[in-house]
Amino acid sequence: MEGGACGSAGAPASAPQATRGAGNGGRRGKRKYHPQRQDRRANNQRKDEKNEPTTETPKEKGEHDEKKEKHEVALRERAFAKALDPDPQLLRKFLNQKDFGRVWLTLHLSRRGLFPSRPLLELNLSSLGPYDVTAAEMIDSLPFCLQTLKLSRNPRWLFSWKVLTKVFRLKRLPHLRSLDVYDCGLNEGTAEWFPYLENCRELRDLKLSRNGRDLKPYNWRQLARSLSKLTELRSLLIDVCKLGWCETTLFRSLPRNLQTLSISGNLNLGDAPSCWEALSVFVRPVPPPPEAAAASSASVSRLRVLDLGGCGLKGQDAEHLLKCLPGSLTKLSLSYNDQIDMSGWKGLASFMEKNEKGGEGLKELLLAYCGLSSEAAGVVFAALPGCLRKLEVRGNKRIDVKGWTALGAKLQSHTSIYELDVSDCAIDGQKAAAFVPHLPLSLTVIRSRFNDGMSDSHFDSLHKRPRMYMDNWRLTFLQKTSAETLEEIGGLVELTGGHNSAKKEKKKRRAMRKKAEQQRRKEARAAAKENDAASSSSAAAAAASGGGSLNLSGVSTAAPPTGFYPLGVSWASSASVGLPAAAAAAAWL
């Protein structure tokens, strides 16, 4: 019974094997390859891997992210290198280098002829937003002797500002004189270099315009502390930075040696009387030292250019500030401040009278779109100094015949004014007749756009004047004017359709210069290729003879130069090291 049971139980197990192997000599047959089945299995495997929880350690994840970032940087660097458009041989050497920033800087130096005979003094890295990491490497390689650094229009930078913070903190740019960070979208994270700016003690020009949208009050306080220690600062531009009452400390910390201050476009200052009070204290003339007081009674002041356009200046703030202006001021802009009342204009007139008597004299006065009334215009025009060279009253449509008569009477005796802008002032024939016949002989530029109501009565006296430039008078009567009348205006260039033909000549000359520049670059590329071939042959000969030299842009020196060598490349003693002369053809900056 047991044997029968065992036999009957084993029969079903062996029967299928005999059936499967019957057609292949008792062996199991191979399955055919089905591509669709393999693809399905691969897709299912990917789905399973995707649904499974990740088991990467933090270390492995960090390595993966670092590898991914390096790959993205490499792609950006290759795109950046191809944009330079060098020859293929140079491009291969360019992309095979590990330190991209140093090699790029070498290309720039060799193209400018600044290396190795002369140090690098100026570097322009403007509009390099997509190349943040690459620019950070370049900033980290800046030489100590650098004097001018332009970083404008880079709103997408992150790493570069951190590197710049390190550079300033370590005092690696002690001789920096000019820094341009215009329109860089600085915020509380990317403005960490403000406290370390004080280490650049030789800084003379600082441009921070269009950066205040995301800055916090404590960022401005940090900048104020740095500015108070920059005794050599001469020019400060902080236009359109949303300055307000929180930035009073900034105006109190301005250095006394400042000569140019521009804060235009900060409308919030109109509601910040404390800022205007601090600015009034800054611009007020400083008494001379005791030893110089006996020799001269004039006050010591260095401010020469002040731009307050579009700052919401009004009321008592305007009156107090304009009365405190120093006699050293040569250019003043009050454009787009249409809330200044009569007391403010009287304060301006008082300043101009004092300026003409005891100061250097105001050379340029800009009053565009200030809402000047006829009465205010009469007060201002009557006080214009005799040394004035440029007057702009564009966009003041409220001035009537009485105001223009006052302007003509004042300008009649002037001998130094050369430019007058009365565009968009609703000037008709009667208003033009009130001041145009009295214009002085020294006037060479008249701008009067968008004044369509003018008549031709003022043309009678133009033939007495020397060559004059008229910017688009838009005279409706010009088509009716006879050729004889135009011939009498001997000093004017030809007028056609209300436009000056000098603009066409200027455009033609610009096209000719552009064509000549293209031809010069083409010849330079050809010469660079010839020098490249010559330098390659000389390098091979030097390598064969065992002599050592560094060859960059066709310049070979047998010994290290005495000047600064910023890239840290070691000098070779057995072969020629460097880039060929075709580096001069790399078109960048």
**333: nearest Cα among 260, 274, 271:** 260
Phi, psi of 468 (to 5 degrees): -130, 145
Q: Are 450 and 396 in contact (CB under 8 A)?
A: no
Model pLDDT, residue 76: 63
Q: Is 419 helix (H, G, I), strand (E, B) or coil?
A: strand
pTM of the model: 0.64
* DSSP secondary structure of 453-469: B--SGGGGGGGGS-SBE
Residue 530 lies in a domain: yes
Query: Tokens 């670092």 map to which residue?
Result: 66
CB 179 within 8 A of CB 206: yes
C-alpha angle 129/131/135, rounded to 5°? 100
Task: Give a yes or no: residue 137 inside a domain.
Answer: no
Measure CA of the first residue to CA of the last residue in the chain; give whole Å: 102
Sequence-ordered strand ranges (E) for 73-188: 122-124, 148-150, 178-180
Angle at Cα 117 formed by Cα 114 and Cα 121, nearest 5°? 40
Distance between CA atoms of residues 270 and 315, nearest Å: 10
Question: In 142-268, which residue ranges form alpha helices assigned H by DSSP?
Answer: 159-169, 217-227, 248-252
> Does some domain include residue 541?
yes
Which residue bears the tokens 């015949």? 401
Half-sphere exposure of 322 (CA within 13 A, CB side): 27
The answer to whether residue 396 is domain-embedded is no
Give the domain extent around 538.
517-585
Q: In what order do the strands lie in the sheet with 555-557?
A: 555-557, 549-552, 576-577
Strand ranges for 11-142 from DSSP E: 122-124
Query: What pLDDT was estimated at residue 586?
Result: 33
Quick one: pLDDT at residue 48?
A: 60
Give mean pLDDT in consecutive 10-residue pieces for the chain, a chain of 589 residues: 43 44 49 60 63 62 73 64 55 53 54 54 80 79 85 87 91 93 89 92 94 86 92 94 83 91 90 87 70 44 90 89 89 94 93 77 93 93 92 94 92 88 88 86 83 63 56 42 41 39 69 84 80 60 39 29 32 28 31
Alpha-carbon torsion (108, 112, 113, 117), positive or negative = negative
Residue 531 lies in a domain: yes
Q: Is 181 helix (H, G, I), strand (E, B) or coil?
A: coil
Cβ 452 vs Cβ 478: under 8 Å: no
- Evaluate whether residue 546 is within a structural domain: yes
Among 164, 204, 205, which residue's Cα sits nearest to residue 184?
Answer: 164
Query: Does residue 255 contact residue 261 with C-beta atoms inside 8 Å?
Result: no
Those residues with Cβ within 8 angstroms of residue 221's Cβ, 6 or more apart along the chain or in another chain: 249, 250
Return the pLDDT at 28. 53
For residue 535, being part of any structural domain is answered with yes
CA separation for the pair 148, 175 (Å, rounded): 9
Tell me whether residue 475 is in a domain: no
Hey, which residues does 500 pair with through a beta bridge? 495
Domain count within the chain: 1
**Do 268 and 238 contact (CB within 8 A), yes or no?**
no
- Per DSSP bridges, beta strands 260-262 and 549-552 are unpaired
**572 DSSP β-pair partners:** none
* E strands in 29-166: 122-124, 148-150
**What is the C-alpha separation between 174 and 177, in angstroms, rounded?**
9
Spatial contact of 229 and 196, defined as CB atoms under 8 Å apart: no
Look at the block and give the residue holding tokens 């305007």.
318
Give me the pLDDT at residue 480, please.
38
Token readout for 68 is 């991914």
Supply the pLDDT for residue 56: 64
Q: From residue 330, how far is each of 355, 422, 552 by CA, in Å?
A: 9, 21, 47
Distance, CA of 325 to CA of 337 (rounded, Å): 17
CA 438, CA 445: separation in Å to the nearest integer?
A: 15
Q: For residues 589 and 23, what is the distance between their CA atoms, to the nearest angstrom?
A: 79
